[in-house]
Amino acid sequence: MARSMACVLFVAGSICASAQGVRYLRWQQIQPLTASITTAGEKLPDFPTAAAWDNWIRQRDWELRGRTEQSVEDLISGWIVFGSSFTTQPVLLSQKDAVNAAGDLTAVSRARIDDFIKGLDTRDDERWRDVLEFLRRLRVTEEELPAFLGGILRRSALDHANAGWSDETAPLLMDFAMSETLHALKTSAAAPVHVHRVAVISPELDFSGRPDGYDFYPPQTVQPFAILEAVERLDLGRAAEVQLSLIDMNPFVLSHLRAITGKLRSGHYILQLPLNTAAGWNAEALSYWNRLGELIGTPAEPAAVPSGVHHVNMRAVAVKPQAGARISVNDLDIVAQSVETAPGQGFDIVVALNALGEYDRVEQSLALASMAGMMNPGAVLLISGAAPASIPSELEALGSHRIVYSESGVGIDIAVYRRR
């Protein structure tokens, strides 16, 4: 493993240049929020001057970026727990199942770690290279590796148990809920008439596998292309003409996003669309799975399903180069920073379905202020997984949409706001 780690080179992919800059949240922008945050039981520190605020928000950005290391560890932990490509051990049902009642690693977890370490020495693809680069940056030695991986599994299992997180919602279902919510907004005349610019904050990276062990195809992000297709399907704009800004600060995610444009130009960005036939999706969700990609791609050969993975049907779509012709990537901390836009050049739709759950209420309030500041009047914001937070006065609540995706009535709640 030490020899493999020494050979790793981090290569960023090509990226479409963005005409939009990044700036820190300004003191004037968040002043109206301070009273409402205090009313909600939490408060910002007192800032005597704008300079004091600027120092504080920059320090906060540094701290939040430090937390992305834990986000990377969560991706690695999820892969060890759910992966099927590097081990014959049974896939765990949840990250919580990596430990027993006493908080010790189970025998299966320890065996999975051993097989994972063997994979680091013998495999060479995007996932393994990203993990090796992360370990190299942290200076984790070969001798320290079992304890390091065991530690992140224990921590992640405890976090999932305390937070009540679920590992069972397939990323495609969030895309389905997003598309259905936009359809409801279009029907009620609440959607923007024409969409020129879209921002996706923390787009889901399908990296770690799920309880079904879906790591038998390369890492991918479907959400940016799902929003482009929804815009075109609803006649809100042309996918090839929409400026799509992808915003994140997780290094694994950014590395993948920056490589997308190069893959698109060569016609090799393939969306693998797995369907768990035992999950009980309803007719509407199944219809979405069947038609996703019709407008932004062409049929492609799906990845072969390994013999140990059951109840899976596969579709695949090769994304057309023109569908992602206007993609840009921003390394941006949505709590502390915002995209600088000229008047009338802001976003018409902002999607933040994976962005807010890990933040406290003060951080969520600042993130909402950041999003509001980069939206055009009449633009809509779609968020999910957020606790009640202080809403900037620029945002008008349009209510919550519950999109049911299973025959048993399970669904996803998406809150919608409109920029006044």
- Among residues 350, 384, 349, the alpha carbon closest in space to that of 364 is found at 384
Burial (CB count within 10 angstroms: exposed 0-12, middle 13-18, buried 19+), residue 18: middle
Residues 111 and 234 in one domain: no
pLDDT score recorded for residue 351: 98
Residues 154 and 250 in one domain: no
Question: Rounded distance, CA 120 to CA 207, Å?
Answer: 16
Residue with tokens 């006065």: 393
Cite the DSSP H helix spans in 83-138.
107-122, 126-138
pLDDT score recorded for residue 37: 78
Residues 277 and 389 in one domain: yes
Range of the domain at 108: 68-163
SS3 84: coil
54 in a domain, yes or no? no
pLDDT score recorded for residue 17: 37
SS3 358: coil
pLDDT score recorded for residue 309: 84
The answer to whether 369 and 419 have CB atoms below 8 angstroms apart is: no
202 in a domain, yes or no? yes
pLDDT score recorded for residue 389: 77
Residues 302 and 415 in one domain: yes
Residues 262 and 307 in one domain: yes
pLDDT (tens place) for every residue of the chain, 420 residues total = 544 444 433 333 333 434 468 999 999 888 888 877 776 667 888 899 999 999 999 999 999 999 999 999 999 999 999 998 999 998 888 889 999 999 999 999 999 999 999 999 999 999 999 999 999 999 999 999 999 999 999 999 888 777 644 555 788 999 999 999 999 999 999 999 999 999 999 999 999 877 666 899 999 999 999 999 999 999 999 999 999 999 999 999 999 999 998 999 888 999 999 999 999 999 999 999 999 999 999 999 999 998 878 899 999 999 999 998 899 999 999 999 999 999 899 999 999 999 998 898 899 999 999 999 999 999 999 999 887 778 899 999 999 999 999 999 999 999 999 999
- Model confidence, pTM: 0.91
- Among residues 356, 312, 313, 317, the alpha carbon closest in space to that of 229 is found at 317
Q: Looking at 103, 132, 163, which one is the last position of a domain? A: 163
315 in a domain, yes or no? yes
Residues 207 and 326 in one domain: yes
The tokens for 54 are: 């600027």
7 in a domain, yes or no? no
Which CATH number covers residue 326? 3.40.50.150
289 in a domain, yes or no? yes
47 in a domain, yes or no? no
Question: Rounded distance, CA 416 to CA 414, Å?
Answer: 6
- In degrees and rounded to multiples of 5, residue 199 shows phi and psi of -115, 135
pLDDT score recorded for residue 163: 60
Q: Looking at 163, 195, 214, which one is the last position of a domain? A: 163
Residue with tokens 């048993």: 408
53 in a domain, yes or no? no
pLDDT score recorded for residue 93: 85
The answer to whether 20 and 245 have CB atoms below 8 angstroms apart is: yes
Tally of domains within the chain: 2
159 in a domain, yes or no? yes
